[in-house]
Structure 1
Amino acid sequence: MAPVDFIVHGPPGSAPPVLAEAFLAGLAESAADSRDFRLLSRGDDPGVDAMELLIRRPGDPDVLSTCTPVFLQAPLLRGMSLTHRQLTPLARLVTDRFFLVARADAPWAGAAEFVRDLPRRTTRTGGYFKGGINHLLGLAIADGTGADVEFIVTPSEPAVWTALIEGRIDWGCGVAAEILPHVEAGTLRVIAALDEHRLSPFPDVPTLAEIGVPVTFKLWRGLMGPPGLSIPQQEHWHRVARDVTRTEAWRAYLARNGQSDGFLPGTAFAEFLQTEWDWYAKHLGLAGLLPKTPHFA
């Protein structure tokens, strides 16, 4: 029996490898698929590397990939001919939330001080590409506080936190899976949650909305397959994903990272992705980041 190549579309230190490991733990607990799974890291160009590998394996039931909105953002921003529509959306798994973080020795004791101080001087935030969620959240926070914010492009998502720790940026926006190791090491401090409600990893941390800046964002994470999968092959992955999301290992992953169940298989996931595509196309266009001559349909 051939092993399954499980593509991880983000580099070590980012959130996709954390999801992949949790998925494998859920597989082991549920016994939903008896094949061997081997992780393939394809995070040098997040999303794009994974999509290019998937498109080269049409109809292959032994490959799947983690996926996030970068599968939509990268094609939009680059005008790529390859988009998610040529692949097989398998399942949305979770809804993830973002936190605003700063160095442990930052001058802001909390969200109120941050919001009060931000308009007084130019500050720097960062992400690994313009038009990414880090960038869009930075723009929203700058707009909500009337601040002048400079966006610094870093080589990768994990490099955002290195830049923050080293003082090359002043604050950042990230999910729990990315920031928790640094918070637990005492190098980063969580300032605020970017959600309507306080979140489980940091229940004592207020939301920005509580301070009068209602910036919120929910990030989906899921699974993408290669093109041309048969209906039975797709249904197999739907069952596997459903079974994994019912395990104790998966629930522990959600709780630690402040995520919630977002299971949405097959056609419903594909329809959701079209709505997401339209949202990103609109907002990246408003930010002036879309190419004049895109190649996508």
Structure 2
Amino acid sequence: MTLKTEATLIVHGPPGSAPPVMADALRRAQAEVLPEHPPLSLRPMGDDPGVDSMEFMATKTGQTDLISTCTPVFIQAPLLRGMELTHRDLTPIARLVADRFFLVVRTDSGWDDIGAFLDHIRANTTRTGGYFLGGINHLLSLAIADQTKADVEFIVTESEPAVWNAMIEGRIDWGVGVAAEILPHVEAGTMKVLAVFDENRRPAFPNTPTLAEAGVPVTFQLWRGLMAPGGLSEEAQADWHEHFATLRDSAAWRDYLTRNGQEDAWLPGEPFRDFLEAEWDWYERHLGLAGLLPNT
């Protein structure tokens, strides 16, 4: 392993979102299994999630000590904004995990289970939210509305964590999020989980049914990974692959996966690049169907 200098990991999401949770797990994993390495330095850049990181890395072509967390927003934002800068101008390093979304409501909502919730939204207008149109929160709310023929109002919040503040304050009625986002609120007793967007129940909330069990077969799998500046040499890419493959074999990383109900989805290098092209096609199609792409 030749990666011995201090490295910086850009965290592309704001506090209270999922990327900082993953970044902290990577930092702890490196300290555990590679104590001889300088600590992994975390650089928050979540004011404009994904875009801030992409634009910053675009100015650091070939820099070998810089890497960023990444999620589908690295694809959604360029499509939705018509950006010239895309993931193709950067260096995909690896997909790390697969995650699932959960449908959550306030504990005092009066909906005891997913059946009661679905009965209500079929007969009443409800509000949900997310921090941008075309985000996963929005696409999943559109899917639920389509499956149930419900009238759902989507409210744009100022940030991803603000979705949960909006729910607590009563400005939205329900939301969708991953375990890393909702766990603090569930553990605090302010929210409860009604269903999971997957074919199977998830270990993070084993008693929570799937939406399909309630007759609404909406599923979604989210990925998280790592992206580096463009122009990275094959040798530098191989160093990053080896480095993060090593971090996966740590108690800190396994604890992160278990607590947040995620699965290892390791896919480094060229296969990850190919995966991103398939993701681009998927989002381009679905955002286009929703009428959210520029000039559509």
TM-score, scaled to structure 2: 0.97
8 A Cα contact 1:160 1:172, kept in partner:
yes
Going from structure 1 to structure 2, the CA distance change for 1:245 and 1:33 (only over 3 Å counts) comes to: farther
1:46 aligned partner, one-letter code? P
- 2:30 maps to what in 1? 27
8 A Cα contact 1:33 1:240, kept in partner:
no
Fraction of identical pairs, as percent: 63
Partners of 1:215 and 1:200 in 2: how far apart? 19
Partners of 1:203 and 1:25 in 2: how far apart? 27
SS in 2 for 1:155: coil
Partners of 2:67 and 2:35 in 1: how far apart? 15
Among residues 161, 171, 174, which one is paired with 1:171 in the alignment? 174
SS in 2 for 1:11: coil
* 1:119 is the counterpart of 2:122: yes
Partners of 2:167 and 2:153 in 1: how far apart? 14
What is the CA distance between 1:248 and its match in structure 2? Answer: 1.7
Larger displacement relative to structure 2 (34-43 or 186-195): 34-43
Going from structure 1 to structure 2, the CA distance change for 1:249 and 1:2 (only over 3 Å counts) comes to: closer
- 1:242 maps to what in 2? 245
Partners of 2:251 and 2:61 in 1: how far apart? 33
Among residues 144, 149, 153, which one is paired with 2:147 in the alignment? 144
Backbone CA RMSD of aligned residues:
1.2
| Unaligned stretches of 5+ residues in structure 2 | none
* 1:279 is the counterpart of 2:282: yes
1:247 aligned partner, one-letter code? S
8 A Cα contact 1:126 1:135, kept in partner:
yes
Structure 1 runs (4+) greater than 3 angstroms displaced: none
SS in 2 for 1:137: helix
* 1:110 is the counterpart of 2:75: no
* 1:65 is the counterpart of 2:30: no
Map of 1:117-266 to 2, 5 A cutoff? 117-266=120-269
| Unaligned stretches of 5+ residues in structure 1 | none
TM-score, scaled to structure 1: 0.97
Partners of 2:213 and 2:78 in 1: how far apart? 35
SS in 1 for 2:101: strand
Among residues 67, 83, 88, which one is paired with 1:85 in the alignment? 88
What is the CA distance between 1:33 and its match in structure 2? Answer: 7.3
2:105 aligned partner, one-letter code? A
SS in 2 for 1:223: strand
